[in-house]
A and B are shown apart, each in its own frame.
Chain A
Amino acid sequence: MRNLSFRSLRVLQRDADVYFTVWQSEFLPPLLEPILYVFGFGLGLGQLVHNVQYQGRTLSYLAFMAPGVLAVAIMFWAFFETTFSSYVRMYYQKTFDAILATPLLVEDVILGELLWGTTKAVIASTIMLGVLAVLGLVSWPTGLWVLPIAIMGGLLFSGFGLIMTSTVKTISQFNVPMFAFILPMFTFAGTFFPLDLLPGWALAVAWCLPLTHLALLVRSAVLGVAHPMLPVSVAYVLVVAIGLSAWALVRMKKRLIQ
C-alpha cells in the first residue's frame, strides 16, 4: 500500500486520452441506453403496470424504474471497463508492461485502472442523469447526490471487476461472473420492481447484493425520497467499495508480478 501514489493519475489520464480519441463510440451508449430503456420498458411495461407504491408514494412505473436503470449503468460501466477493457490493456495490448517500464509501479497501474473504471461510471451516470432530467424524472437538488453515489458504486464494481481480471485465464471466462453475479443483480436488486414483491428468502438474498444498496441510494437521490435503509446502504456501499478495491490491489499485484 505504501507504493500507492499520485502517479496513478497518469494511468487514468492515459485511459481518458484513449476515451476522448474514440469518444464517438464511447459517448453514445450511455446517452441512448436510458432512452431505450425508458421507451422499451417504461412505455411498454408501463402500459401493464400503471402505478408503483414506493415509500408511501404512488409513482408511475417509469419514474420508479428510471433510477434503477441509472444504478445498473454504474454497475455495468465500471464492471465492463475493469474486466474486458482492462484485460485487453493487460493481456493483448501489453499496456501495463509499457507503463511499468517507466517510474510507475504496479500499484500505480492498478489504482489507475480502479480510478478509471470509477470515472467511466461517473461519466455514464452524469450523461444519463441529464437525459432523465430532460424527461422530467429527476428531483432537484437531491438528484446531485447521484454523483458521489456513482463514485462509491463505480469504485465498488471496479474493484469487483479487477478481482475478476486477476482471476480469469482467458477473456471469455468473464462470462462466469457475468452470469453468476452481474445478471442476477441486474434482475433481482430492486432495479425494475420494488423489492417487497419478492418472497422472504429472495428478499434476504437481495439485501446481500451490492446493487440492491446502490439502487436504493440512487433511487433516494433521484426521487428525493428517503428510505429507512439509507444509512445501512451508505455504509454497505462504502465498506464494500473500499474492501473490494484493496483486495483487487493485492490480487492484481500477484497476477502482474511473478
Chain B
Amino acid sequence: MTSEHAISAQNLVKRYGETEAVRGISFDVSPGEVVGFLGPNGAGKTTTVRMISCFLPPTSGTALVYGIDVRERPRDVKRILGICPQEDNLDPDFDVLKNLLVYGRYFGIPAAEVKRRAEPLLESMALLDRAKSPVAALSGGMKRRLILARALVNEPRVLVLDEPTTGLDPQARHAIWTRVRALRATGVTVLLTTHYMEEAAQLCDRVIVIDNGQVLLGGTPDELVRLEVGRSVIEVWNYGPDLAAALRELHGRLEEVGDRLYFYPEDEDAVERLLESRFPHQERLHRRATLEDVFLKLTGRALRD
C-alpha cells in the first residue's frame, strides 16, 4: 500500500518540552514528483524534513521512504537519500574531489567507483576544473553546487533539499534550479523546503504550505493561486479614502498594508472600469496573482523573527 509512495508521512509530531514544532503533519510524495514545503521561518519545514531524513526521531507518527520506516531502519533509508543541508558542511580541509571521495566512503562505495561517478557529477555542476581546489577557495554558489554533487554520489532515489538557494545571487540560484530540473527529468524524487515563492513555482510539481507545525494547504502552484487568490491582484498606492470605499463596493478581498492597498477582485474588468471612470490618474499596478500572494494570505504578514 505504502510502497508505491516515495515518501509517506503519517501524523508526524515533534515536541520539544512544552513546544510542538511539528503538530501532526501527513503527506505523500509519488516517485518522480518534486514537492516543495513552503512556510515562514519557524513553521516546521526543516524539522519535518529532518525527521524524514533520520536526523531527528519523531515524537510520534510514522515516516516511510520507499516503504522503509525511518525509525526502524535509518541506515537503509539514508542509503537511498541524497541530503542537501541548509548550511555549508563541506570538509574545509579537503579539496573538491576529496570531499566526494570521503563522502562516498561513508556509503561504502569503493574509491574507484566514486572517482568514476565524480567526473560527470562535477561536470554537470560546472566544477570539473575545480576538482583539485580547496573548498575554502570556492564561492558560495560553487559550494552549494558541490553540496548538491556530494548528495548525488550515492545515486539517491530521493533528493532532499533544505533551502537550496538561500543566500545565493540570482545567477547562482538559477544555476541550481537548472540542475534540479535536469535531475527531475531523470526521475529522481525531490523534496525541498524554501521560502522563495519563485523557487517553488519554478521547480515544484506540488507545494505544501506549512505554518505553526501544520499543513495549511497543498496543490500545484497554479491551482493554489487560482483557488486561493484568483487570477490577478491590483496594487494601489497614494490613494484617498474614497477609492478604498469604492473598492469595498466590489466583489473581492481588500487588504490594506502600510501605504498600500491590495485588491483581489472576482471580476477584474469591473475594477478596471471603476478605476478608468472615477480614478483615471490613480497610481496602480495590475498584475498576475502569484504564489507569494497565496503565501501571505495563508500565513499572514506579521514578521516571524
Chain A interface (Cβ within 8 Å of chain B)? 7, 10, 13-14, 17-18, 21-22, 93-95, 97-105, 257-258
A102 to B153 CA separation, bound complex (whole angstroms)? 11
Contact check, B106 vs A94: say whether CB atoms are below 8 A apart: no
Contact A18:B106 (CB < 8 A) given known A257-B56, A258-B56: no
A224 to B53 CA separation, bound complex (whole angstroms)? 54
Contact residues in B for A21 (Cβ distance below 8 Å): 93-94
Contact check, B105 vs A22: say whether CB atoms are below 8 A apart: no
A105 to B53 CA separation, bound complex (whole angstroms)? 12
Candidates A10, A98, A101, A105; contact of B91 at CB < 8 Å:
A98
Candidates B76, B78, B105; contact of A101 at CB < 8 Å:
B78
Contact residues in A for B79 (Cβ distance below 8 Å): 103
Total count of chain B residues near the partner, CB < 8 A: 31
Task: List residues 69-95 of chain B with CB under 8 A from any CB of chain A.
Answer: 74-76, 78-79, 81, 83, 85, 87-94
A89 to B54 CA separation, bound complex (whole angstroms)? 20
Name the residue of chain A whose CB is nearest to the CB of B57.
Answer: A257
A14 to B92 CA separation, bound complex (whole angstroms)? 12
Contact check, A258 vs B106: say whether CB atoms are below 8 A apart: no
Give the Cβ gap from B190 to chain A, nearest Cβ, in Å. 16
Contact residues in A for B90 (Cβ distance below 8 Å): 98
23 A–B contacts, CB within 8 A, in A order: A7-B106, A13-B105, A17-B94, A17-B102, A18-B91, A22-B93, A93-B89, A97-B85, A97-B87, A98-B85, A98-B90, A100-B55, A101-B53, A101-B78, A101-B81, A101-B83, A101-B85, A103-B76, A103-B79, A103-B108, A104-B75, A105-B74, A258-B16
Give the Cβ gap from B98 to chain A, nearest Cβ, in Å. 7
Contact check, B106 vs A105: say whether CB atoms are below 8 A apart: no
A100 to B56 CA separation, bound complex (whole angstroms)? 11
Candidates B75, B89, B105; contact of A95 at CB < 8 Å:
B89
Contact A10:B106 (CB < 8 A) given known A97-B85, A101-B78: yes
Contact residues in A for B75 (Cβ distance below 8 Å): 103-105
Contact check, B93 vs A18: say whether CB atoms are below 8 A apart: yes
Name the residue of chain B whose CB is nearest to the CB of A94.
Answer: B89
Contact check, B74 vs A93: say whether CB atoms are below 8 A apart: no
